[in-house]
Structure 1
């Protein structure tokens, strides 16, 4: 065998072995959890800095609920997935009424629409009103399309623990809250 052919063969075998090792390592390495994007725990600061009017017109600072597990749900009355999700959020909110948990809905909507929805559906938690531009605070959390619904859950220290673009079912929501209440 010529030295050049042998060197090419050695390089090819080494490359195949390296590729095989890479693929084998990748297949046994733990994969990140699906569903929620990985975000820094302090990335939710812009949400906690929001100060928005509630359905009665009184300004509410989200920072007032530090010390509680805080579930912030961005939604709208014109968003069908949001409307399917809110009854489950309401049910979970009622179950945790005596726990250090606070739900807040941020309606990307008109005040009259939010007020009417809250009354008709007996939503047990504050619904704040925000202009469409407010969704920009969710971009850094994986919501680059600024779509709805979008939920962010903060631990009792005000650190972002979980985000989800799209609907969040009752069991998953309750599980996230129970895990945060059990920690620390």
Structure 2
């Protein structure tokens, strides 16, 4: 199979899965965003991820232990994801001097993520992951494996907050400030 055809197929399957997850989530709950309570150690599979950035360089999420870590699963083909990224970028810039690290995990093709990062001046690392990576979010309440999905870890590496659906700037900043104040 030619690489262009294969990549197009992968993107089509990923888009279909994202839409299916979105509609499944909407059907199972009348409110689109979902915040789930999970065990603090349940985020270990996310922290164990080692994914390439948009340049192909492997990045271990564990390298950011000791900081409040905001991990956002997203894609360039996901409209709710695209709406929340400017808020994430703004909050990331405000906390640039604090022990806070944002990481976007793009369920997408490297070229799409690279172009998006350049066009929108995303100030934090964007890593690339295959669609099956979303499976690790099921245990965190994202049973539909939909996007966007955000997990926030405290400075000890313990999962503090997860949300399926968009996070606005005020909510995101509030969660980070609370974690910084408590540690």
Same fold (TM over 0.5): yes
Name the structure 1 match of 2:25.
none
Q: Deviations over 1:53-89 (max 9, x none)?
A: 0011100000000000000000000000000000000
Q: Name the CA distance, whole Å, in 2 between partners of 1:131 and 1:37.
A: 24
Separation of aligned partners in 1, 2:122 and 2:87: 10
Question: Number of paired residues?
Answer: 151
Runs of at least 4 residues of structure 1 off by over 2 A?
Answer: none
Residues in 1 aligned to 2:89 and 2:100: alpha-carbon distance in whole angstroms: 12
Alpha-carbon distance in 1 for matches of 2:82, 2:104: 12
* 1:50 alignment partner in structure 2: 49
SS of the residue 2:35 aligns to = coil
Q: Alpha-carbon deviation of 1:35?
A: 4.3
CA RMSD, Structure 1 to Structure 2 (Å)? 0.9
The 2-side partners of 1:35 and 1:116 are apart by: 30
Q: Under a length normalisation based on structure 2, what TM-score does the superposition of the two structures give? A: 0.82
Q: Which residue is equivalent to 2:39?
A: 40
- How far is the alpha carbon of 1:108 from its aligned partner? 0.1
Structure 1 or 2, whichever has the larger Rg, is 1
How high is the TM-score relative to the length of structure 1? 0.81
Aligned to 2:175: 176
Structure possessing the higher relative contact order (Cα contacts under 8 Å, 6 or more residues apart): 2
Map 1:146-165; keep pairs closer than 5 Å.
146-165=145-164
